[in-house]
Each structure stands twice: as structure tokens, then as C-alpha cells.
Structure 1
Amino acid sequence: MFMFESTIIWDDNEIPLSRYFDDVYFNTDGAVDETRYVFIEGNCLYERFLQHQQETFTIGETGFGSGLSFLVAWQTFKQFRQKNPNSNLKKLNFFSVEKYPLSASEISKIHDKVINSEDSLSPLSKQLQDFLIKSDVGSLDETNLLICYDDISCFADFLVQKNSLIDAWFFDGFSPAKNPDMWNESLFKRCYQLTREKGTFATFTAAGFVRRNLINAGFNVEKRKGFGLKREMLIGQKI
């Protein structure tokens, strides 16, 4: 049952802030476009779906938040399956972790603010909200969602138990300056070990210590133009 205490403070501009980290979940203006740019395009997901020869593609995410990144990934996969019904790729696994889950009402409010009612994300949002009220593990169409409600330090062991390597990472914690545990070298080393060969990552940040930690973990790291006014972001691959 998805019932949690409020973790959000809404500022005067109706921007959602974390009660624990004093950081925005995202800017409600352009949040969906930014998610697509950073995580979907940053990992070249649609192109990789087309090239994938196995039955299942697996995404790992550090920070479920409002579930927006999951929604956009789910939408992208649904579009892929509709256009490529005979592809070898049939299933999407999405593993995420969240220490401070949002309540169902908070998720609903955020989605109402960032998702246009005419967008094909809108009905998916309603399905996700219904799903979260009932469970944290299960299938939504051809996509399996599994959420670890625990500290980020437990996420790697959670993934080991699921016996699944990650094809693409969404590194999506709060600001590295305010939530350093989500960006440390030891975490990235565990993530690297759990990444399939030629697996990728994308993240909104280009902070110097994050880049160094990713490189020290073993990833090949590149800078990419950031979304909107953000100058840079990071993408990379396990070679």
C-alpha cells in the first residue's frame, strides 16, 4: 500500500522542494522535455531499443521521486513496441530506489502540473498512480516496475537479488552538493559492476567530483550540452 507522510514543501511559485534536502524535484516548467532530453536521449534509448537483440531491456534509476522519468521511459517503450511488434525486444524492466517516497496525492499534484492533459503521458500517469496505491512491484503493460524503498546504499544489493544487469542508468538524485551519498565513488563502482557491457548512463549534472567518481568507477564519461539554460550534463558507457 502506497501511503507515506508528506516529503514536499511547495514554494511560493508552486515548485516542489524536498523537505529533507532543500532542493527542487525539478522545475515544473519543461520538466517532461528535460526528462526526455537528459535520460531518454542521453542514453539513446529509442535507438538502442531498435538494436537490442535480447528479450528484455533493463533500466536502473537512482531516485524515483515523482516517477516522471519512469513515465517517460514507459511511454518511449510503448511507442517502440507499437511501431516494432516483431522486434526481439518484448519487455522493459525498470528498477528504482527511493528513501523518502512521495504520497499518492503529492505525485498526483506534480503530474497535474507538469503533464499536459492532451499528452499521451496523462493516461499513463493515472495508471501509475493506481499501481502505486496497490503495490511497489508489478507489471504495467509490457513494463515491469520494481521500487526499493530504502537508502541508496542498499540499492546494489537489491539489484543483485534481482539477478539482472543494467543496460541504461538514470543517475537522478538531488543536487550533488546537497545529497552527496547519491553521487559517491563507491556507489558508482557498484553500479559499474552491475552494468552490462556497453551499458550507458546519463545524468543532469556535470559537477567535477561526480565526473571524477564516474571515471574512477570505470565508466567512459563525456560532457553533453545541458537542457535549456544548463550548460553541461554527463553521459557515458561501460566499455
Structure 2
Amino acid sequence: MFMHESTIIWDDDQIPISRFFNDVYFNTNGAIDETRYVFIEGNRLFARFLQHQQESFTIGETGFGSGLSFLIAWQTFKQFRQQNPNSVLKRLNFFSVERYPLSELEMIKIHNKVISSHDSLSSLAPKLRDYLQGSTNETLDDINLVICFDDITHFPDFLQRQNSLIDVWFFDGFSPAKNPDMWSASLFKQCYNLTNKDGTFATFTAAGFVRRNLISAGFKVEKRKGFGIKREMLIGSKS
């Protein structure tokens, strides 16, 4: 599902900025490395796949954006399946939310700019766009991607209807200062209740009120060195 109106402003350095939140989607230099560092390594995702003893594994994400985090999670799962064909884990569920979906042209521009030099990702991106376009011929391998095109406040109810607890969270909204609803105590409490007993989370931010809201919700929270020049980020678990 794509929007027809523009949701992005490109600044002089060709960095995409949300015109609804006046915040960057990501820095186009190092976006892939940062996504892997924060969400894949922060959640020890490959190790979690190896340890998982059920047929499906579920990721919940707050903010689909350009789909970059999804593409990298998909790539990671493909690598896992190729290396572990006999694993009991066969399927990845990926549930996300996006209030302002990008237009197809915006997504193509971001994908061309950010992932064109990464062969495995650039081969997945057109499949994702065709899937979002509603192509009946496109499948996403062993991935079940479902996006809630609504406000973040409706995401917990949406997740409850999926009848699947979350194993890993990607908390990936815009800056807490510019999009506080994505980081509220009430949202985190509902996310905690929807998390599997061994579930984990990772997020790029280490903002004080975000950390306090996560702790208040029940999560065990740790600080980790941030990516690049960012001093800190947060990771944690339910147990």
C-alpha cells in the first residue's frame, strides 16, 4: 500500500526527511550498517534464530518507513535458513506499523540510494515493492509481512488480532522529541504484555524518558554503545 502524496523532503545532502515529523528517516551514509548494528546485533537476532525451538519467529516493529529494517531482517533470515536447512524454525512473522506510508517512487529512490551497492538487499527490494503494490504473483519466501497502516495507538490491538507474541522488537520511531507517541509509557506497557517470555528489544535512542518508560513497563533495560558518533543506545529483555 503506497501513498500518492509526498511524505518526504530531500535536503541539500539528499537525506530523506519526514514532512510530518521534520526528522530524518536515517542518514543515507551508513544506514545499512547502523540498522544491522542497532536492530540485528542489538537483539542478537541470528543467535535467537539458532536457539528458537518453534516453527515461527515473530518480529514487531514500530515504524516501517522505507522497509530497510525489514529487508535486513529478511536477508538475515534467508542466511539462517540457507545455513540451517534442518532447523525447526521455518517461518518469520514481521508485524509493523506505518501511519504515513511512502509513495512507490519515494521508496524506489531511497532503495536506489541506500542499497544499490548491496547485491543481496538490492535483489530483495523490488520484491518488497511489488508485494506492497499488491502483486498477486509476489511472495516473500518464508516471510509473513503484515503492516498496520494506522496510528501507533492502534498497533497493540492490531497485534493482538495476529494471535502471536513478539519475540523481538525493533523500536524505530522518529526522534522521541519529535514523535513522543511512539515512545510512551502506555505503548511500552502494551508492548511488554505482547512480548514472549524470552523476548528482547533494541532501539537507537537512549533518551532518559524512553528508558524510564521501558523500565516502568517491565522491561529489563541496558545501555549499549551507540552506532558511530552516537554515544549510547538501549537494549533489553522481558525476562
TM over 0.5: yes
Deviations 1:126-172 (A, max 9, x none): 11111111169x95100110000000000000000111100000000
Q: CA deviation at 1:123?
A: 0.5
Matches within 5 A, 1:214-225: 214-225=214-225
| Shift, 1:5, TM fit | 1.4
Note if contact 2:220-2:237 (Cα within 8 Å) is conserved in structure 1.
yes
Contact 2:58/2:93, CA 8 A, preserved across alignment: yes
Deviating 4+ runs (over 6 angstroms):
none
SS of the equivalent of 2:224 reads: strand
Match of 1:94, SS?
strand
Structure 2 letter corresponding to 1:219: F
Shift of 1:120: 0.8
Return the alpha-carbon distance in structure 1 between the equivalents of residues 135 and 177 of structure 2.
Answer: 33
Q: CA deviation at 1:198?
A: 1.3
Aligned length: 238
Name the amino acid aligned to 1:66: S
Q: Cα RMSD over matched residues?
A: 1.3
Partner of 2:49: 49
The Cα shift of 1:118 comes to 4.3
* 1:3 CA drift (Å): 3.9
Query: Do residues 10 (structure 1) and 6 (structure 2) align?
Result: no
Corresponding residue for 1:131? 131
TM-score for both structures, normalised by structure 1: 0.97
Q: For residue 81 of structure 2, what is the aligned residue in structure 1?
A: 81
- What TM-score, normalized by structure 2, do the two folds share? 0.97
| Contact 1:61–1:95 (8 Å) recurs in 2 | yes
Tell me the percent identity: 76
**Residue equivalent to 1:188:** 188
2:127 touches 2:139 (CA, 8 Å); kept in 1? no
Offset at residue 73 of structure 1 (A): 0.2
Q: Which amino acid aligns with 1:35?
A: T
Which residue type is aligned with residue 174 of structure 1? Answer: F
Cα gap change, 1:139 to 1:168, in 2 (>3 Å) = farther
Contact 1:11 1:17 in 2 (8 A): yes
**Match of 2:39?**
39
Question: What is the match of residue 114 of structure 1?
Answer: 114
Counterpart residue identity of residue 50, structure 2:
L
CA shift, 1:2, in A, is 2.9
3-state secondary structure, aligned to 1:65? coil
Between the aligned partners of 1:33 and 1:64, the Cα distance in structure 2 is 17
Of 103-112 and 117-126, the range deviating more from structure 2 = 117-126
**Residues 218 and 118 of structure 1, relative CA distance in 2, 3 Å threshold:** closer
Indicate if the aligned counterparts of 1:4 and 1:101 stay in contact, CA closer than 8 A: no
Give, in whole Å, the separation in 2 of the partners of 1:172 and 1:81. Answer: 26
Q: Secondary structure at the match of 2:6?
A: coil
Structure 2's unaligned 5+ residue stretches are none
| Preserved contact between residue 2 and residue 134 of structure 1 (Cα < 8 Å) | no
> Secondary structure, in 3 states, of the residue corresponding to 2:133?
helix
1:45 Cα deviation from its structure 2 partner: 0.3
What is the match of residue 167 of structure 2? 167
Letter in 1 for 2:107: I
Distance 2:209 2:228 in 1: 23
Cα distance in 1, alignment partners of residues 203 and 103 from structure 2: 25
